Amino acid sequence: MDKLQIASFTGAELVALADERLPKGRGAARAIYRRALRESRFEPDAHGLSELGVAAWSERFALDLPRVVRKAEEETDLGPTAKLVLALHDGLECEAVVLPMGRERTTLCISSQVGCKMGCTFCETARMGLLRHMTTAEIIGQILRVRAEGYAVNNVVFMGMGEALDNADAVIQAVRVITDPAGMALGQERVTVCTVGRIDGIKKLAQAGFRRLNLSISLNAPDDALRASIMPIARTVSLSQLQAALIEYRPRENFAVGVNYCLLPGINDSAEHAAGIASFCEPLGRVMVNLIPYNPGGAPLTRAPEEDEIERFIGQLREHGLPVRRRITKGRSVMAACGQLGNVELRRKRRLPTSPGAEPSAD
Ligand code: SF4
């Protein structure tokens, strides 16, 4: 019998499952859940249960965390940036990045898929293709493992490997788990889901009813032709369709959508592009433009923008009245900056079973 992964569930769900499936030891469900989600530990014998109760929990439930394969750190003014390569149960790997934000706050950038099928030309992960979706337990496992390695996690962003809303059901359940007061208890305002513009996923997110969750979209080009040349999703989802979906997505009165823009010198950094971004944002109400200077990876699309090019573009956006936040490029030397996640070597593992009968899927 496959064990149920505790990190797949909210506290209430675990209590209900314990009631339904355990002959003994049900009463410890809340305490077991809290310890698992807050301390990354599953210790059924630490809650005063009888031997039968401990055995019942151990037979039916587990908290399998990914293993750290590699860890690279880079010192920054705000503290260490760390990229952790984590092995999942089938030998495939995902990546999580710890980003110091100052004042002892830390953001963890997590993956939702192994690889990605979206094919954005500026992105290292795209070169892997999609190997498989991650489960909710695997998504949560990244946070638990990173905490177990001694890093604080105050904010979570779904901007690691994968398109979060291509795996919407697992990601939505992960948001429920992350924000459940019975366990991890991060406020919804501390979690950001990022998408290239999966309108079906945005609708699912709206139905899930997270009122304080942050949503950001990767814009990267303000016209359909340019966007389609660097982001294949734009061939099927036009900017006006994306705009309409965002106008509809109103989880709360003062909601501000994040508009991420990876600055690619010579490609999307002209004054016309800045004006185009302003037109795109105009009907959206409150927005925050997050400007991400391009980080060249293994097969660079262009060079990194110079400091004065970044400043000039930010100035142009502000002249159009847009609030702009520049993402500090942390972790470039450990390939942990935006667009740099992804291990091309992993593509080879797609056809290499890690144990007899364990063929990694490539859906
Ligand atoms: S930028 Fe995001 S959606 Fe696009 S290929 Fe990379 S991981 Fe996928």
Q: What is the DSSP string of 139-169?
A: HHHHHHHHHHTT----EEEE-SSS-GGGGHH
Active-site residues: which are they? 338
Q: What is the pLDDT of residues 129-169, one digit of tens each?
A: 999 999 999 999 999 999 999 999 999 999 999 999 999 99
- Closest-lying ligand 1 atom to the alpha carbon of residue 342: 7
The overall pTM is greater than 0.75: yes
Would you say the CB of residue 292 lies under 6 angstroms from ligand 1?
Answer: no
Cα–ligand 1 centroid distance for 126 (angstroms): 6
* Statement: residue 359 has pLDDT above 60: no
Of 222, 113, 254, give the one whose Cα is nearest residue 170: 113
pLDDT at position 1 is 63
Residues 6 or more apart in contact with residue 345 via CB below 8 angstroms: none
To the nearest whole percent, how much of the chain has pLDDT over 70?
90
Q: How confident is the model at residue 358 (pLDDT cuts 50, 70, 90)?
A: very low
**CA–CA separation, 37 and 109 (whole Å):** 18
Mean pLDDT, the chain, whole residue set: 90
Q: How confident is the model at residue 125 (pLDDT cuts 50, 70, 90)?
A: confident
pLDDT at position 177 is 98
pLDDT at position 61 is 97
Would you say the CB of residue 123 lies under 6 angstroms from ligand 1?
Answer: yes
* Statement: residue 292 has pLDDT above 70: yes
Q: How far is CA 199 from the centre of its chain?
A: 17
**CA–CA separation, 293 and 311 (whole Å):** 10
- Closest-lying ligand 1 atom to the alpha carbon of residue 119: 5
- Closest-lying ligand 1 atom to the alpha carbon of residue 341: 7
CA distances from 290 to 74, 123, 206 (A): 23, 17, 22
Residue 348's CB: how many other CB atoms inside 10 A?
Answer: 10
Cα–ligand 1 centroid distance for 341 (angstroms): 9
Would you say the CB of residue 196 lies under 6 angstroms from ligand 1?
Answer: yes
Cα–ligand 1 centroid distance for 22 (angstroms): 42
Residue 345's CB: how many other CB atoms inside 10 A?
Answer: 9
Helix axes 136-148, 168-179, angle to 10 degrees: 40
Would you say the CB of residue 242 lies under 6 angstroms from ligand 1?
Answer: no
For the record, the structure tokens of 35 come out as 């310890």
Average pLDDT over residues 218-243: 96
pLDDT at position 342 is 63
Average pLDDT over residues 203-229: 96
- In this structure, are residues 304 and 294 in contact, taking their beta carbons and an 8 Å threshold? yes
Q: What is the CA radius of gyration of the chain?
A: 21
Q: How far is CA 214 from the centre of its chain?
A: 12
